[in-house]
Amino acid sequence: MFGRVIAVIGAPAMIAVLSLSPGLRTGICRHIALIEILARKLLLAEAALIATAPSTRAPRLTEANLSASGLYTLPQTRRASAASNPCAPDLANPETWSARFALAIPRDARTVRDRNAPRIRALWGDPPAPPPALERKYSQRNSDAFLVARRTEALRRLLHNPAPYVTRLARTRRIGVARSRDAITRYAFRAPRRFVGDRYDPRLTVDIFSVAVRAHAVLTDTS
């Protein structure tokens, strides 16, 4: 299915140099979003097998550094190197892009975001002036065409080698450890706003939703 979509919209290197109109960008993102949702359901099915498998890892040994007085000392951390200016991406070589597939795990509905948290109003003096808005510079790195191309490249990497993403999803705190029923339910049963099936493989979406339902049943089973 991904190969047929790429045959229509073009490879990531081709998308990066296009001048996308709003309608064309919406159409490309709609096809990519459908495959992303289906891919996440397959990742959930594989992660369910890892989460329910018996652990075979041995106990991990750690070293505790003691000072001359016998007190515990914090481990030394490496000094972060000075951030250098990122170089412009090579549009003709998508393998060199920094593209990582987003797992898009639902947020906990009980968690209050910082921007929605209550603020303490000063009872004296004038309120502080808001910081000046930063002017966004237009570059190849944040252009619409490159963002869509990078999203497509991240999806291609996932389909080429899904193992690292399956491991990352299985170890995610909200699914692999806590196994929040609400998060797993929304993750397993999420569907695109405009659901478009694959006419060349009508059973593809049905089979993928079926494995997602089975993974949901496994991960939410507390017995």
Given a cut of 80, whether residue 33 has pLDDT beyond it is: yes
pLDDT recorded at residue 57: 61
In whole angstroms, give the CA distance from residue 173 to residue 175.
Answer: 6
Given a cut of 90, whether residue 152 has pLDDT beyond it is: yes
pLDDT recorded at residue 45: 92
In whole angstroms, give the CA distance from residue 201 to residue 210.
Answer: 15
Average pLDDT over residues 110-119: 66
Helices (H), the chain: 2-9, 12-16, 22-52, 144-160, 163-170, 181-189, 203-219
For the chain, the residue count is 223
pLDDT recorded at residue 101: 93
pLDDT recorded at residue 112: 64
Rounded to the nearest integer, the mean pLDDT of the chain is 78
How many Cβ atoms sit within 10 Å of the Cβ of residue 28?
Answer: 22
Given a cut of 70, whether residue 22 has pLDDT beyond it is: yes
Q: Taking the mean position of all CA atoms in its chain, how far away is CA 148?
A: 15
In whole angstroms, give the CA distance from residue 187 to residue 213.
Answer: 10
pLDDT recorded at residue 221: 79
In whole angstroms, give the CA distance from residue 196 to residue 114.
Answer: 36
18-32, 87-101, 104-118, 145-159: segment of lowest average pLDDT: 104-118
Residue partners of 145: CB distance under 8 A and separation at least 6: 15, 16, 17, 18, 19, 20
pLDDT digits (tens, 9 = 90+) for 129-148: 766 766 655 455 568 889 99
* Three-state SS at 68: coil
In whole angstroms, give the CA distance from residue 84 to residue 176.
Answer: 36
Nearest CA-CA partner of 2 in 25, 42, 33:
33
pLDDT recorded at residue 104: 87
Residue 49 confidence class, pLDDT cut points 50, 70, 90: confident
pLDDT recorded at residue 156: 95
Residue 184 confidence class, pLDDT cut points 50, 70, 90: confident
For residue 192, how many C-alpha atoms fall within 13 Å in the half-sphere facing its CB? 17
Given a cut of 50, whether residue 218 has pLDDT beyond it is: yes
DSSP state of 72: B
Q: Taking the mean position of all CA atoms in its chain, how far away is CA 137?
A: 25
pLDDT recorded at residue 81: 47
pLDDT recorded at residue 47: 87
Token reading at 42 = 């397959």
Average pLDDT over residues 57-80: 61
Average pLDDT over residues 48-67: 68
* Total-model pTM: 0.72
Token reading at 123 = 């009872």
